[in-house]
Amino acid sequence: MGALDLDRLWNGDRRAIARAITSVENETPASEGLLRSVFVRTGRAYRIGITGPPGAGKSTITNKLASLYRAARKSVGIIAVDPTSPFSGGALLGDRVRMTDVDLDEEVFIRSMASRGSLGGLSRRTMEAVDVLDAAGKEVILMETVGVGQSELDIAGAADTTVVALVPESGDSIQAMKAGLMEIADVFVLNKADRAGADQAVMAIQMILNFRKHDGWMPDVVKTVASEGAGIDLLAARITEHRAYLERSGGLRLKRRARIEHRVRELIAARLKVDFWTPDRHAQLERRLDDLLELAVSPAQVADELVADFHRTHNGRG
Amino acid sequence: MGALDLDRLWNGDRRAIARAITSVENETPASEGLLRSVFVRTGRAYRIGITGPPGAGKSTITNKLASLYRAARKSVGIIAVDPTSPFSGGALLGDRVRMTDVDLDEEVFIRSMASRGSLGGLSRRTMEAVDVLDAAGKEVILMETVGVGQSELDIAGAADTTVVALVPESGDSIQAMKAGLMEIADVFVLNKADRAGADQAVMAIQMILNFRKHDGWMPDVVKTVASEGAGIDLLAARITEHRAYLERSGGLRLKRRARIEHRVRELIAARLKVDFWTPDRHAQLERRLDDLLELAVSPAQVADELVADFHRTHNGRG
């Protein structure tokens, strides 16, 4: 991107943001320099992760939260990496109508990103796109991701405040607990709280919370009916309280530190992979694959051979 | 494991299998040697992946398929990495009763494994556990995993035949298509086919399939009511046809080759990580984290510094 485009990006221009994120997603030659410029402008946005099982209403909550922040004149960025999210094109066409509250608003930038092929639910690219939004002056960034498998750990690392959305349906809270969602929530949302079983579900979550240790911050449960906007103000208030707690306790700095450390580690792994997999070393592996198929050697032996070759080759370089 | 234990393992002794998998899961010092012995005994088991969205009845299908193979006197191994599966302890207690068809059978070995902290839904450990079952003489290995995010790509790589389970509920097939499940299915199961909308769902899947290119194998849809065992025989027959197709076309060898290549690449990445993150290099990163937090350098610059140091350090080694 040229200097003019960069100026537009720092001013929050939608097309400049879109181009920058595309550049990052596609790892264009220019993206590395772009990311260096972006990084030194980060650290101002507040990052909120919204996760939970499919069907918990994460997109609706994200949408209504964005509307509320917009009403308070905050600029908002949304990154959706949920394969079932209408933001990211994964849901039914019918669900798309729910998004129109914010998606025509100039000050809300929405981007869906693929979760596939990444190291877990949120890829390095996704984190870099969030940085682009931060550098472009978005004050609040909402990250929506489905809470299954790896992604909930990623979002807890990527967010300042992690919101876990559940619904009253039987066993949902127990499943969430087992799937690790209970450990990462700073705020719980019991969405669709007008359905039967809502109060029992809230009680179940609170009972589980009471059995856990908390160091200063006690996650509690906000009841919402997000489709009608009910309870979203309470959710936003609770997020604000958590932010104040993090700022007071120094936790915000620790979270950012851990996030940056993780980023450096990921970059190093990517660089080592590029350095390692030269055409020559790839050919070496190809030659050994027949031996492997005939069970004449084990994968560990071949890995050892290639790593030894790597260290030999870098002898004298650096 | 001692020589006696290894003999028991090759003979399919349950306790020896359990101990071997635990050793692999915990990466005990003995596990590396164990895996070398295991690897050269693999390649005989047929590996079937069963995936799909939560609620599609994957565990029930897995259970009924296992019973059917047992009735045909084949020994069976089951690996469940689905956080919502009753096998892996993720589901409601009530669901557990469904598993009792096979879990008391001496010739069925069931193991649940965590999906967390891995590179996607199936970790290297999981693949190694499947190898243990293969080397222990299991003729059929069923791998059950929830089809969200990364895991469906993993299972398609790990399985000889990939079964995708869906239910008639509206939009399920469309969601599956968008989430990438359509691309990996060798066989579709439309489970709970006694519910309303089953025939429409089958037609929707078939329409999507007709628009895709197929190189010799055409995935089609088997209707089941797994809870009653209905259609499981048709599913097993279709899996057998796919196996015959793979053996005839040479596809089975290509799949195994790709699987082994992937394994070597993962082992290399793990070894490079260990080689890289010495206490000294970890301390170097620690020292740079404050500069990063003050935005004085970018993550990419710090990554470059540390990688350069790594290559310098390995100068003269190897």
Which of B24, B285, B311 to mutate to probe the A interface, most A CBs <10 Å? B311
Which of B281, B291, B305, B117 minimizes the C-alpha distance to A257? B291
Give the one of A261, A272, A318 whose C-beta lies nearest to B272's C-beta.
Answer: A272
> Can you tell me which residue has the tokens 């259609």?
B231
Q: Give B-chain residues touching A263 at CB under 8 angstroms.
A: 299
Share of chain A above pLDDT 90, in %: 55
> Can you tell me which residue has the tokens 């990250």?
A143
Which of A231, A132, A130 minimizes the C-alpha distance to A189? A231
Cα separation, A9 vs B94, in Å, equals 54
Q: Are B280 and A282 in contact (CB under 8 A)?
A: no
Amino acid present at A127: M
Of A73-87, B116-130, B236-250, where does mean pLDDT reach its minimum?
Answer: B116-130
Q: Are B109 and B76 in contact (CB under 8 A)?
A: yes
Give the full edge-to-edge strand order of the sheet including B46-52: B108-112, B76-80, B140-146, B46-52, B161-166, B187-190, B221-223
pLDDT tens readout for residues B139-152: 999 998 866 555 55
Q: Are A165 and A239 in contact (CB under 8 A)?
A: no
Find the radius of gyration of the CA atoms of chain A.
22
Residue A273 has pLDDT above 70, yes or no: yes
Residue B157 has pLDDT above 90, yes or no: no
Contacts of A22 (CB under 8 A, 6+ apart): none
Please give the domain boundaries of chain B with CATH numbers for all domains. 3-250 (3.40.50.300), 266-313 (no CATH)
What distance in Å separates residue A163's CA from the closest CA in chain B?
A: 19
Q: What is the pLDDT of residue A94?
A: 36
What distance in Å separates residue A66's CA from the closest CA in chain B?
A: 25
What distance in Å separates residue B263's CA from the closest CA in chain A?
A: 7
Q: What is the pLDDT of residue A108?
A: 84
Q: Which helix (H) or strand (E) holds B77?
A: strand B76-80
- Burial environment of residue B265 by CB neighbours within 10 A (0 to 12, 13 to 18, 19 or more): middle
pLDDT tens readout for residues A138-185: 999 999 886 655 555 677 788 999 999 988 875 555 555 555 677 788
Q: What is the pLDDT of residue B100?
A: 52
Q: Give B-chain residues touching A295 at CB under 8 angstroms.
A: 39-43
Question: What does the block give as tokens for A40?
Answer: 């030194």
pLDDT tens readout for residues B2-52: 777 899 999 999 999 999 999 998 888 889 899 999 999 999 999 999 988
Q: Give B-chain residues touching A257 at CB under 8 angstroms.
A: 289, 292-293
Which of B58, B134, B153, B261 to mutate to probe the A interface, most A CBs <10 Å? B261
Cα separation, B142 vs B148, in Å, equals 18
Cα separation, B175 vs B198, in Å, equals 16
Distance of CA A299 to the CA centre of its chain: 33
Q: What is the pLDDT of residue B108?
A: 84
Give the one of A179, A273, A292 whose C-beta lies nearest to B260's C-beta.
Answer: A292
- Contact between chains at A43 and B295 (C-beta distance less than 8 A): yes
Q: Is the dihedral of CA B65, B68, B72, B76 positive or negative?
A: positive
> What number is the average pLDDT over the span A274-298?
95
Q: What is the pLDDT of residue B150?
A: 54
What distance in Å separates residue A269's CA from the closest CA in chain B?
A: 7
Q: Are B223 and B198 in contact (CB under 8 A)?
A: yes
- Quick count: other Cβ atoms within 10 Å of Cβ B303? 22
Averaged pLDDT score across all residues of chain B: 84
Q: What is the pLDDT of residue B5?
A: 86
Amino acid present at B72: A
What distance in Å separates residue A254's CA from the closest CA in chain B?
A: 10
What distance in Å separates residue A313's CA from the closest CA in chain B?
A: 9
Amino acid present at A106: E
Amino acid present at A133: L
pLDDT tens readout for residues B166-185: 888 745 555 555 556 777 88
* Adjacent-strand bridge partners of B122: none
Share of chain A above pLDDT 70, in %: 81
Contacts of B286 (CB under 8 A, 6+ apart): none
pLDDT tens readout for residues A12-47: 999 999 999 999 988 888 898 999 999 999 999 999
Cα separation, B207 vs B193, in Å, equals 18
Give the model's confidence band at A82: pLDDT under 50 very low, under 70 low, under 90 confident, else very high. low
Cα separation, A219 vs A160, in Å, equals 14
Q: What is the pLDDT of residue B80?
A: 86
Share of chain B above pLDDT 70, in %: 82
Coil, helix or strand for B11?
coil
- Contact between chains at B303 and A268 (C-beta distance less than 8 A): yes
Coil, helix or strand for A217?
coil
Give the one of B84, B256, B314 whose C-beta lies nearest to A314's C-beta.
Answer: B314
Please, what's the largest Cα pairwise distance for chain B?
Answer: 70
Cα separation, B88 vs B79, in Å, equals 9
Give the one of A121, A271, A306 whose C-beta lies nearest to B307's C-beta.
Answer: A271
Name the region of B14 (left: φ>0; alpha: ψ -120 to 50; beta: rest). alpha
Q: What is the pLDDT of residue A246?
A: 97
Q: What is the pLDDT of residue B271?
A: 92
Contacts of B212 (CB under 8 A, 6+ apart): B182
Which residue in chain A has the smallest CA separation from B39? A298
Q: Are B128 and B23 in contact (CB under 8 A)?
A: no
- Give backbone dihedrals phi and psi of B164, rounded to 5 degrees, phi first: -110, 120
Which residue in chain B has the smallest CA separation from A294? B40
Q: Which helix (H) or strand (E) holds A133?
A: helix A124-135
Q: Are A310 and A281 in contact (CB under 8 A)?
A: yes
- Contact between chains at B257 and A118 (C-beta distance less than 8 A): no
Q: What is the pLDDT of residue B318?
A: 40
pLDDT tens readout for residues A183-208: 788 999 999 999 988 998 898 888 87
Cα–Cα–Cα angle for B188, B194, B196, nearest 5°? 95
Q: Are B20 and B12 in contact (CB under 8 A)?
A: no
Contacts of A68 (CB under 8 A, 6+ apart): A232, A233, A236
Which residue in chain B has the smallest CA separation from A312? B318
- Burial environment of residue A209 by CB neighbours within 10 A (0 to 12, 13 to 18, 19 or more): middle
Cα separation, A226 vs A190, in Å, equals 10
Q: What is the pLDDT of residue B32?
A: 87
Residue A314 has pLDDT above 80, yes or no: no
Contacts of B213 (CB under 8 A, 6+ apart): none
Q: What is the pLDDT of residue A95?
A: 40
- Quick count: other Cβ atoms within 10 Å of Cβ A23? 21
Cα separation, B297 vs A39, in Å, equals 9
Which of A208, A104, A238, A131 minimizes the C-alpha distance to B300? A131
Which of B268, B301, B313 to mutate to probe the A interface, most A CBs <10 Å? B268
Give the one of A32, A119, A299 whose C-beta lies nearest to B260's C-beta.
Answer: A299
Coil, helix or strand for A138?
coil
Averaged pLDDT score across all residues of chain A: 84
Q: What is the pLDDT of residue A46?
A: 97
Give the full edge-to-edge strand order of the sheet including A161-166: A108-112, A76-80, A140-146, A46-52, A161-166, A187-190, A221-223
Give the one of B116, B299, B310 whose C-beta lies nearest to A150's C-beta.
Answer: B116
- Burial environment of residue B274 by CB neighbours within 10 A (0 to 12, 13 to 18, 19 or more): exposed
pLDDT tens readout for residues B220-265: 999 999 999 999 999 999 999 999 999 999 999 999 999 999 999 9
Which of A25, A86, A37 minimizes the C-alpha distance to A61? A86
Q: What is the pLDDT of residue A290?
A: 93
